[in-house]
Every structure is written in structure tokens, then in C-alpha cells.
Amino acid sequence: MTSEHQTSLPGPAADIRNRAASWLVRRRDHEDWTAEDQVELDAWLAEFPANKIAFLRVDAAWKRADRLGALRTPLPKHKWLAPVLKFVSTGAAAALVLGGVYLTMPREAPPPGELYVTGVGGRETLTLRDGSKIELNTNTALRVGGKGTQRTVWLEKGEAFFQIVHNEAHPFVVFAGTHRITDLGTKFLVRRENQMLRVSLLEGKAQFDSKNSRGSQQATLNPGDVLVATAKSLSVTERPSQELTDELSWRSGLLVFRHASLVQAAAEYNRYNIKKIVITDPKIAELNINGALPANDPHALTRSAQRLFNLRIEERPGEIIITH
């Protein structure tokens, strides 16, 4: 890199900025950075405060751009399990994946229709013919009713956010195990995990029905309501809207934690990543963290833990262990 500076003036701002960007990319993005390069860069930075400021500015912007990594959708491990998210009218591609997926499905009588799946870390949006939108989160399987019965879906596992176009004559129905959610013009989030089902209602109204050996239970959901159903219990609580917004931050690739324990945050991360965060020490597990972090980068959490609490991070194949 040669210098055009003959005078003691730093030169026009635009020129310096371009020069700074050029240094930055050489420094941050090339793999062959040497000690000599560093000497040369230091000399350039020391030459004028304007150089230093321009470098700090472009460096800060380039680091901020790292957040864009949150938009990455990792490829699923098995090709044949790849998300087949297309407009529902396409049948052939979806039919191909059925065989493979059935193995992981619960042994209920399989309902008809087409199956849509995402892998760990995946995220896809499905648009139905009526304009209703369903966003599938990580590791999710959703079945959509066939022609004429598109407004009936089965959440086999995982989590999905529904934005439903209301139709008085054809209510939209979500089945999840023995539970049923009937929308009355609605935005809502459904998460099915182990034996638990969680429904968060953002807008509109929905009817919830649950049938099990003990009989049937019902609840009407209003905006802000969060329903939690297990095999034995059913509860509905009203939550602050902030909490619901946080809960939906996966839609933009982020996980938001407010006073979450480290072990909760790790469990959340492990839903999104093949590489699992492991915490065994109960003292570490209870440490509190706050922040919005990219869901597909478990190191974003472990690095923060390392920095904030002075913990040790141990990398192993398939896992990251946090210890003292």
C-alpha cells in the first residue's frame, strides 16, 4: 500500500475512509496477515488521528455486520430430511420425505396430508393458499391437511408461529397430540416438547380443547395469554407483551434472555444447534444472564459466560463444556 500524503493534512474524509476499509479487510478477512503488516498498519494509524478514527469506525461497522450471521439457515444433516417447504399445492416432493420421517414420528395413526420438517437450527416459512402463514422453528415437523382441508394442521413436534387469515366458515385448527387449538382470527405460537404443550396468543382469540383419559378440558385464549398443558394439568396465565415478543425472537434468528439462568439459556441453545452446551456444576447453572444472541452460534453464549463469570470453556467433539 502506498501513501499519497505529501503534506501534513490527512486528506479528504472519503479517501481516508476507503483507505481504512482497505486496511480493515486485509486485517480481518485475509488469512495471511503478518507481523510486518501489523507494523505497517500501526504506522498508518499513528500518522493522523483521522486515520485512526476512520479505522475504528469501519472496524465497528464490520463487527456489527457479524450479527448478520444470525440469518444463516444451517443445512440439515440428512439431505432427505431437508425442509420441503413449498406452497402446499406441490405434492410429489413432500411425499418423498414421508418414509424417512415416519420413523421419528409418534405412533399415532398418521393423519393424511403433507409433512413439512426443519432440521436442528432450521427455520422456514410456509404460506397456505388462503394467505395464512406458518413459520416453523428449529427441529419441527408439521403436517398440513390435503386439498380442501388445508386449514387443519398437526404439529408433530417442535414449534411454529401461526398468522392465520380468519374464515368464519372454515375455522383453522391445530392438533398437537391430544390437544386441539381452534383459531378465531389469530396470531399464535405453539411449542410441543416432550409431554408439554405451550400456546402463546398474540392477537385475536382462540379456543383450546384437550382430551385425555381423565376427560376433556377447555379454555379460551385472549391476547397475552400463555397456556401450558401437560398430560395431567392445564394452566393459563397472562404474560407481559415483552415476554411474548422475546419468545418470538427466533423468527429473526435471535434468542433473547432476561434474567435467565445459564442452564436455561444453554437448554434453549441446544434446541438450535447440533453442538451442545453442557453444564454440570449446579453453581454455574444458576448464574444469570441477559441479552440477545444469535441462535445458531452457541459460542456467543459460552464466550459471554467466559467473559462475564470468568468460566472455562472446553471444546469437545459435539459439545462445549462450561466449567470453573
Partner 1 sequence: MVKIMDSNREGKPLPRPGAAMTTPEFDAWFAREVLPLEAALMQFLERNCRDKAELEDICQDAFIKVYEAAQRERPKLVKPFVFAVARNIVVDRIRHARIIPIETALDLDTIDIASEEPGPERTVIARDELNRLKTALERLPKRCREAVTLRKIEGLSMREIAARMGISVKTVDAHLVEGAATLANILYAEPTDLRRKP
Give the CA count within 13 Å in the CB-facing half-sphere of 236: 15
CA-CA distance, 32 to 24, in Å (whole number)? 13
Our finding on whether 25 is near partner 1 (CB under 8 A) is yes
Per CB under 8 A, 16 contacts partner 1: yes
Q: Contact between 56 and partner 1 (CB under 8 A)?
A: yes
Nearer to partner 1, 35 or 103 (CB): 35
The whole-angstrom separation of Cα 145 and Cα 247 is 27
Residue 247-266 contact track with partner 1, rule CB under 8 A, x = bound? --x--xxx-x----------
Distance between CA atoms of residues 198 and 191, nearest Å: 5
Find the shortest distance in angstroms from Cβ 11 to partner 1: 10
Site residues for partner 1, 278-297, by CB under 8 A, read 291-292
99/240 with CB nearer partner 1: 240
Instruction: Quickly count: other Cβ atoms within 10 Å of residue 126's Cβ.
Output: 22
- C-alpha distance from residue 242 to each of 188, 190, 258 (Å): 15, 17, 10
Name the segment binding partner 1 (CB under 8 A); options: 36-44, 77-85, 177-185, 261-269. 36-44
Exposed/middle/buried for residue 85 (C-beta within 10 Å: 0-12, 13-18, 19+): buried
- Nearest approach, Cβ of residue 83 and partner 1 (Å): 17
d(CA 158, CA 116): 12
- Interacting residues toward partner 1 by CB under 8 A: 2-3, 5-6, 8, 10, 12-14, 16-18, 20-22, 24-26, 29-31, 35, 38-39, 42-43, 45-50, 52-54, 56-62, 64-72, 249, 252-254, 256, 291-292
